[in-house]
Structure 1
Amino acid sequence: MQYLKLDSLPELRAPVFICAFAGWNDAASAATNAARFIVRRFGARKFGAFDPEPFFDFREVRPHVQVTVRGEREITWPPNDVHFARNPTGPHDVVVFTGTEPNLKWRTFASELVELAQAARADLVVTLGALLADVPHTRPVRVTGSSLDPAAAERLGLQPSRYEGPTGIVGVLHTALRDAGLPGATLWANVPHYLTSSQNPGATAALLRRVSALLEVEFDLSEMDAAAQRFVAEVEGALRANPEAQEYVRRLEATYEEAAAEAPQLPRGEDLVLDIERFLREQREGRGEG
């Protein structure tokens, strides 16, 4: 790894590698907020970071200047950090990458993350994302998932990705994982396209519930759920002054219900755990591990 500088590579138990990028892949900051929650929840320790110089146009992603407690000016560069944590209650330790979608050298950036996943002997790489969609804020946040690996998609109960069009670093990373023979899956929260300037705690909570099932860890999401309820109430209050917007949301609700009745969804959390555990166990057995 040329650009990803590691303090040391910890010994981990069958780690799940979770990645989230701010930017195009992160509507309402739902994915990066979920990844940061995981870091805090586990008390994860930073053990590496990317050199930002080769990957960012600093006119687009500008560094910040701050004044330290000693009164000195200090520049903070765009962070792209990796953390690890032991999982005391589940079979999988955790590696978490949190960062910003780079401006340059996407293939190189993805290759470095793939090398890290290989070196850590990750059983599964999971990217978190969030997209703007034609969904109402009044319904449970839909989480969709896919995999480029047909075997992983089948075993995890996910749909093979059929998306065509512009992609972000997440798409490039999953292509690199597939080419390297590493299993990967991606989970995306669908957030209302008409609420683009606000963080969406409900979308973050929806992603975390999927991850908690995967890791067999109970996350306390009570504060986030309360924030989600306040968020919905605030939006409802704003809509009361706009009958046209209210009618638009009602149409979205009807479309949502029709799609929910027709489209395949992710399996229930407990079923997802069983499917993922079976898949990860087969991965370890295939490598000759007990």
Structure 2
Amino acid sequence: MHNSNDLYAYREGITTDDARASVMLVSLGGFVDAGHTQALLAAHILAHHEHQLIATFDADQLVDYRSRRPMMGFESDRYTSYDVPTIELHRVLDLDGTPFLMLTGVEPDYQWERVVDAVREIVVALGVDLTVLAHGVPMGVPHTRPIGVTVHGTNPALVGESASPFGKLLVPGSIEALLELRFGEAGRNVVGYAVHVPHYLAQLAQPGASLVALERIAASTGLRLERAELEMGAAKAAESLRSELADREDVAQVVAALEQQYDAQYGQVQRRGLTAAAEAELPTADEIGAEAEAFLRGLGDDEQ
């Protein structure tokens, strides 16, 4: 078996002393990112904060090119470009000049355990005390209610007392989930934020969900992160949705049913926590969501 440090290399001239930081954000995708929550957040941070590429992973060892073929440009009679899959580590400065790390790129298809070992080597070498994850999950919730978050992590002190709508269940694995599990076994601090996105909007970009993730990250790390563009994007998306739905009585009925379900469950949080289902005879989240998806796919059909 190869050493895990064969998977990555620091850029020429970069030393571990140059790259030290106490916080690392991880954005490596996974089996779900409803509302493109994580993708929007990572792009926003790199676009609005000074950053430096300090290390790269060897994607040739980790990516299955045939299962997700990279795009290539072609003009007339020749190939002109190749969208190279990357996994990169950046050192980023917040608005006060405080450094933190961001691990971004495609989710590895292969060698997950070695990747986790490599990331653990990096956080130890660079003095990282807290690793932070954030992504969107599709939920049976209405877009007219506050965006919820499920907090998870390796230390109860990081998770806090926020109620979770989930009990014991099995979910498809991801590199980020494995990283959290293995880091916890090694006694390292990881906190994750699963932002609740209405599942009838899960395929659409939801900057409001990314803004909620950013706020949670800022609160848990003390980093001061730029937020104006996400705020404007969230306001624009909300107004666009209101406009689209203004004359759709059928959709309004579906959203009203989701609101009733949400409010009943929220009341249970206040009384017993989200451990029991509502007693009222309401449609299930999947039933409402499927109907809402069908309605919303038809938005704009009248204009065609």
Quickly name the TM-score band, shorter chain normalised.
0.7 to 0.9
Q: Aligned in 2, Cα 1:124/1:229: closer, same or farther, shift over 3 Å?
A: same
Q: CA deviation at 1:107?
A: 1.8
Q: Aligned in 2, Cα 1:25/1:117: closer, same or farther, shift over 3 Å?
A: farther
The answer to whether structure 1 residue 177 and structure 2 residue 183 are counterparts is: yes
Conserved 8 A contact 1:43-1:85: yes
CA distance in 2, matches of 1:116, 1:263: 40
**CA displacement, residues 33-84 of structure 1 (integer Å, 9 cap, x when unaligned):** 212322333311111121112222212222222479xx97232221211101
Report the 3-state secondary structure (helix = DSSP H, G, I; strand = E; otherwise coil) of the residue aligned with 1:129: strand
2:199 alignment partner in structure 1: 193
1:157 alignment partner in structure 2: 160
Unmatched segments (≥5 aa) in structure 2: 274-304
Q: CA deviation at 1:250?
A: 1.2
Moved over 4 A (4+): 158-163
RMSD: 2.8
Amino acid at match of 2:156: A
CA distance in 2, matches of 1:21, 1:93: 20
Unmatched segments (≥5 aa) in structure 1: 266-290
Q: Aligned in 2, Cα 1:57/1:234: closer, same or farther, shift over 3 Å?
A: same
Number of equivalences: 259
Q: What percent identity do the matched residue pairs reach?
A: 22
Structure with the greater alpha carbon radius of gyration: 2
The answer to whether structure 1 residue 130 and structure 2 residue 132 are counterparts is: no
1:215 alignment partner in structure 2: 221
CA distance in 2, matches of 1:214, 1:154: 11
The answer to whether structure 1 residue 114 and structure 2 residue 117 are counterparts is: no
Q: Aligned in 2, Cα 1:23/1:143: closer, same or farther, shift over 3 Å?
A: same
Residue from 43, 47, 56 that aligns with 1:40: 47
1:4 alignment partner in structure 2: 8
Q: Aligned in 2, Cα 1:13/1:260: closer, same or farther, shift over 3 Å?
A: farther
CA distance in 2, matches of 1:4, 1:83: 13
Residue from 260, 264, 288 that aligns with 1:258: 264
Report the 3-state secondary structure (helix = DSSP H, G, I; strand = E; otherwise coil) of the residue aligned with 1:189: strand
